[in-house]
Amino acid sequence: MNWWVIIFSLLFLLVLISFYFRLRTFHSLDLVLKSKNWDKLSKKEYLKKCYDFIGNHFVWKSQCWIYYPWRNFYYRNIWNLKNNCLPCHIQNSIFQHALLTRFRRKEIKTIFTYDLKQNIFVHFYSKIKLNGKWIDVDIHKKNDGVPFGKNIHTIKR
């Protein structure tokens, strides 16, 4: 058997496993959100509650995607990793999934930024359309001092 067939098969298996645990993670999140009784909140209140709830569920660590490379994939039910760090793209996808009960997909954008001048800085955050206006929501940097409605580039450090 060729070596590229083995590598392709392993990558395909990794994608299938990651997809399965992504579904498990989203299902666990949906169950928790249904128990919150946030049905009567406005879109802005719901957005803020999800921001606080998911942002406080995981801790922040700089460059988590490098120090814990296995967390770049859905290798298990990620929602059960309470008080652990997650890479920004995983935490962002969990946050955006929580918003899909109130917002349409076209009202949620994922923004990718990078800066190669200072370390290896790759970052994802969300833009949410609320009342015709786009709001930056940086769920990953919530515990690093970035306030709601801002992102890492719009605050002065």
pLDDT tens digits for range 56-80 = 888 877 777 777 788 778 888 888 8
- Give one word for 93, left, alpha or beta, with left for phi > 0 and alpha for psi -120 to 50: alpha
List of residues 6+ apart from 79 with CB closer than 8 A: 25, 28, 29, 32, 57, 94
Residues recorded for the chain? 157
pTM above 0.75, yes or no: yes
What pLDDT is recorded for position 119? 61
Work out the number of other CB atoms within 10 angstroms of the CB of residue 7.
10
pLDDT at 157 over 60: no
Confidence of residue 118 (pLDDT cuts 50, 70, 90): low
Using CB atoms within 10 Å of the CB of residue 18, give its burial: 0 to 12 exposed, 13 to 18 middle, 19+ buried.
Answer: middle
Q: What is the pLDDT of residues 72-108, one digit of tens each?
A: 788 888 888 777 888 888 899 999 999 998 999 999 9
Cα end-to-end distance, the chain, whole Å: 54
SS3 breakdown of the chain: % helix, strand, coil, rounded to 5? 50, 15, 35
The residue extents of the domains of the chain are: 3-144
